[in-house]
């Protein structure tokens, strides 16, 4: 989440957020005002990137709840978390089969903030809208070319955030992998950051599409090696996720025409 900051008077002791911005900006060769997107007078500077998203109190509270809530009914195994690049942004591309996918990805990346890309319509619920905005989510309109949202995602990636996106565009009805939307990697290409594939196994049994209530299930969060964006990257990411789902009830089955 981004937090507005104002320049402190000369005799005022900088608050914790300002000290954090100063430290981060020193490491990146920026002034605190540049890092916070402000000019010397405390005014917004639209040409500067936003500060790296930090875990807000809302985000921290939700993550504590996620860890406690999932400990017994949803034992979670995180595999190859080391593939998340340190010190730089990355686009996490995952399959989508459950209401719980977002908290499980966030749990898998524990210790780092994950900015999620979500449908704008979800924010119509006041509580959910408040939570998403407080946690730094980027809301998009999938039916329109949302260039502002794309620009925001690119800014997050360039600032060093992890951004999670569901390339299928919607939740699978049975947990099996759906075709990926073209342009899913556009933000990573523009930001010049790597793509990290993520396979969620078992979340559809925890609370899949069509289930009225969640039920106990074992869950795995698997991260793949980061890869640069190229002409075949989207297909490679989908193939990797499909391979991780092979042998489970989420395995993609061939259709009558021979396609998946």
Instruction: Say if strands 195-201 and 219-223 run parallel, antiparallel, or are unpaired.
Output: antiparallel
Confidence of residue 206 (pLDDT cuts 50, 70, 90): very high
Mean pLDDT lowest for which of 30-34, 65-69, 109-113, 122-126?
Answer: 30-34
∠ CA 71-73-79 to the nearest 5 degrees?
55
Q: Please, what sign has the CA dihedral across residues 130, 190, 148, 87? A: positive
pLDDT for 144? 72
Highest average pLDDT, of 32-36, 80-84, 120-124, comes from 80-84
- Going along the chain from its start, the domains and CATH numbers come out as 9-48 (no CATH), 57-245 (3.40.1130.10)
pLDDT for 1? 43
132: Cβ–Cβ under 8 A, 6 or more apart, which residues?
116, 118, 122, 123, 139
Residue 2 has pLDDT above 80, yes or no: no
Predicted structure pTM score:
0.77
pLDDT for 52? 66
b/e map 217-249, b = 16+ CB within 10 Å: bebbbbbbebbebeeebbeebbebbbebbeeee
């Amino acid at each position: 989440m981004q937090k507005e900051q104002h320049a402190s008077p000369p005799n005022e002791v900088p608050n914790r957020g300002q000290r954090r911005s100063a430290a981060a900006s020193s490491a990146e060769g920026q002034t605190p005002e540049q890092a916070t997107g402000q000019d010397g007078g405390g005014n917004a500077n639209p040409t500067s990137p936003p500060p790296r998203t930090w875990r807000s109190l809302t985000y921290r509270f939700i993550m504590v709840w996620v860890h406690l809530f999932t400990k017994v009914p949803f034992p979670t195994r995180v595999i190859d978390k080391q593939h998340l690049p340190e010190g730089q942004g990355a686009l996490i591309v995952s399959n989508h089969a459950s209401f719980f996918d977002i908290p499980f990805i966030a749990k898998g990346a524990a210790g780092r903030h994950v900015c999620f890309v979500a449908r704008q319509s979800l924010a119509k619920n006041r509580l959910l809208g408040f939570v998403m905005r407080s946690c730094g989510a980027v809301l998009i309109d999938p039916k329109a070319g949302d260039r502002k949202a794309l620009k925001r995602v690119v800014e997050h990636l360039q600032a060093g955030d992890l951004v999670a996106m569901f390339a299928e565009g919607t939740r699978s009805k049975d947990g099996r992998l759906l075709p990926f939307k073209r342009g899913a990697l556009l933000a990573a290409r523009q930001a010049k950051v790597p793509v990290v594939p993520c396979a969620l196994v078992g979340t559809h049994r925890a609370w899949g599409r069509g289930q009225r209530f969640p039920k106990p299930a074992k869950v795995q969060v698997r991260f793949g090696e980061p890869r640069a964006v190229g002409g075949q990257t989207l297909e490679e990411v989908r193939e990797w996720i499909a391979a991780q789902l092979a042998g489970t009830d989420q395995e993609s089955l061939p259709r009558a025409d021979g396609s998946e």
